[in-house]
Chains A and B, each alone.
Chain A
Amino acid sequence: SAVISQKPSRDICQRGTSLTIQCQVDSQVTMMFWYRQQPGQSLTLIATANQGSEATYESGFVIDKFPISRPNLTFSTLTVSNMSPEDSSIYLCSVEKGADTGELFFGEGSRLTVL
């Protein structure tokens, strides 16, 4: 099964700054998914990252605020730009655990606190 490494695990950021979260998978995957989990809330899909093409963003999320890179089949980054306290959340990278299993496997998450 996939192993996902996510960095940083947590960070405290100042308002107006940007932070890039890295996600490394130990096997090649077609799609990588970025989720946000606000404090005490459910998981919301931000975007789907495909290698070699622009990420597909869900309603309410835009590329200028959450630019995503996907340079190869094992790596992706999510940047949270111009942060405000409302961006304080856990950001989770995920992949499908095995071909056509349907199961999403999540990284440990990156807990961001914006002051």
Chain B
Amino acid sequence: GENVEQHPSTLSVQEGDSAVIKCTYSDSASNYFPWYKQELGKRPQLIIDIRSNVGEKKDQRIAVTLNKTAKHFSLHITETQPEDSAVYFCAASPHYGQNFVFGPGTRLSVLP
């Protein structure tokens, strides 16, 4: 089955700096790669996703890149703000909305 690894497990950055979180997956059949943000005590919420026919996607300060050959994808947050502090989970799925396997998570702290 699918296995998703995520690094780093914790990340501290100064406000305004960039943050990068990397994930690798094992199943070449996976074709959908979402990123979820979970604030303390809240539900996980989708922040960006990418499908296997696309190499990069950007939404304001957030971007995701995908390298299918190497089976890895990354989340990039620029100009970080304190409200970006949360746990971020990557996931891989062989079919949209189904059979998600989540990475172990990265706790991001943005220091003022």
A106 touches B43 (CB 8 A): yes
Select the residue from B49, B102, B103 with max chain A CB neighbours within 10 A: B102
A96 touches B102 (CB 8 A): no
In the bound complex, what is the Cα–Cα distance between A74 and B68 (angstroms)? Answer: 36
Select the residue from A33, A42, A48 with max chain B CB neighbours within 10 A: A42
B43 touches A107 (CB 8 A): yes
Chain B residues packing against A (C-beta within 8 Å): 1, 32, 34, 36, 42-46, 49, 51, 89, 93, 96-105
CB-contacts of A98-115 with B (<8 A): 100-109
Interface size class of A (residues with CB under 8 A): 20 to 34
In the bound complex, what is the Cα–Cα distance between A4 and B5 (angstroms)? Answer: 29
A102 touches B97 (CB 8 A): yes
List the A side residues contacting B32 at CB < 8 Å. Answer: 102
Q: Is A18 an interface residue (CB 8 A)?
A: no
In the bound complex, what is the Cα–Cα distance between A12 and B102 (angstroms)? Answer: 27
List the A side residues contacting B49 at CB < 8 Å. Answer: 102-103
List the B side residues contacting A109 at CB < 8 Å. Answer: 43
Least CB separation from B95: chain A residue? A102
A42 touches B96 (CB 8 A): no
List the A side residues contacting B97 at CB < 8 Å. Answer: 31, 96, 100-104
In the bound complex, what is the Cα–Cα distance between A107 and B45 (angstroms)? Answer: 10
List the A side residues contacting B89 at CB < 8 Å. Answer: 42-43
Q: Is A72 an interface residue (CB 8 A)?
A: no
Q: Is A44 an interface residue (CB 8 A)?
A: yes
What would be 11 A-B contacts, judged by CB atoms less than 8 Å apart? A31-B97, A33-B100, A43-B89, A45-B101, A97-B46, A100-B96, A102-B51, A102-B96, A103-B34, A103-B49, A107-B43
